[in-house]
Amino acid sequence: MEQRADFDQAIASQPQWMRLAAELAGEALGAAPLTPWTAGQTVAVVGMGASTNAGAVLVAALRQAGLRAVNLDASAVADYPPGYDAADHVIVVSESGRSPEPIAAAARLGVRPIVVTNDPASPVTQGAALVVPLGGFTDSGVYTIGYTTTLVALAAIAAAHGVQLTDPAALAGVAQAALSDFAAAAPSLAAGLDGRCFLDIVGRGVSAGSAQAAALLFREAPGLASAPFETLQYLHGPMESSGPNSATMLFGDGRERGIADQLRAAGALVIQLSAAPGYARAVTEIVFAQLIAAELARRRGVQVGQFRFPQPDTKLPA
């Protein structure tokens, strides 16, 4: 069985691994002959699971910076015709490097990709133009370190191509601040969630990617039925199922404020997080969600990472 880190310990250790990821990304990218991404070109991020969610954060930030960017599920790309012209630049993300879908996708788009992975010797790196390593850590069964270090690596890749979304080296400090700021509140928030039947997680832009990542986290860790929604899409029907048995986690303080008032009036539990705008907020949001998910798993007696439905084909043999 593959070794996995304790969930709580992995959450707490993220800042140190994020600092290392920034250093490693800087070294890998600094040694490569890179040219800036330009308006009119398309950048594609390809991944599966939590890697897809990290890609959604990057793509939203790139669009806000004026770049054309798309986030592609590797499972869909794996079925594209060989050489399909989806993008000028491709980033393939696979923490393990052994998910078969990103491996197949990397060969389909006709562009040698930049590969982000925790294992530079893994199969996904075959044919890569450049490999950006995450640090060789042992992650928890429900990815924690892998997600936040991927956010660091993606910010570094953007910066190396002339798009300054944030200082990659500063993201470890953002994670550390979130761990300190939210640890005390997490138990009471988890207690409130414990009696609810489902959790909607809602955000716009970069925060829509955080909503996706957090929804997967709550399904995998404490086993709470959860789903992500873009804020304005949430208004068009999905919130109609909310009420005394539901909860909604809102990332943002724009249109989200009005949603919060309506949901509270309907008896729903509302958890709202406001963070400084920009790419770095994705780190704050996911650490906030991790801490609550860990407390909820503890309340429910769930052994995080012991999956009820293990699948034989989501990873190639180590």
Read off the CATH number of the domain in which 30 is found.
3.40.50.10490
pLDDT tens for each residue of 122-170: 999 998 999 999 999 999 999 999 999 999 999 999 999 999 999 999 9
* pTM recorded for the entire structure: 0.95
Asked whether residue 305 carries a pLDDT value surpassing 50, the answer given is yes
**Residue 189 within a domain:** yes
For 261, the domain range is 183-300
One domain for residues 109 and 153: yes
Last residue of a domain, one of 135, 169, 203: 169
The reported pLDDT for the residue numbered 317 is 73
35: number of Cβ within 10 Å: 8
How far is residue 232's CA from residue 140's CA, in Å, rounded to a whole number?
33
Judge whether 1 lies within some domain: no
Which of residues 122, 141, 169 is at a domain's end?
A: 169
- Look over the chain and give the mean of its residue pLDDT values, rounded to a whole number: 94
Q: What angle do CA 125, 130, 135 make, to 5 degrees?
A: 70
Which pLDDT score, from 0 to 100, does residue 312 have?
A: 67
Cα gap 216→197, rounded to integer Å: 16
Q: Do 163 and 200 fall within a single domain?
A: no
Structure-token pair, residue 310: 């293990």
- Give how far Cα 155 sits from Cα of 11, 38, 91, Å: 20, 16, 12
Do residues 75 and 103 touch, judged by C-beta distance below 8 A? no
Does residue 1 carry a pLDDT above 60? no
**Chain CA centroid to CA 296, Å:** 20
97-125 burial code (b ≥16 CB/10 A, e <16): bbbbbbbbbbebbebebbbbbbbbebbbb
Task: Determine, yes or no, domain membership for 2.
Answer: no
Could you say which of 112, 136, 169 is where a domain stops? Answer: 169
Residues 187, 157, single domain; the answer is no
| Domain shared by 14 and 160, yes or no | yes
Total number of domains in the chain: 2
Taking alpha carbons only, the member of 179, 172, 145 closest to residue 156 is: 172
pLDDT, tens only, 5-48 = 999 999 999 999 999 999 999 999 999 999 999 999 999 999 99
Strand intervals (E) in the chain = 42-47, 68-73, 89-93, 114-117, 130-133, 198-203, 226-230, 246-251, 269-273
Is 179 in contact with 252 (CB distance < 8 Å)? Answer: no
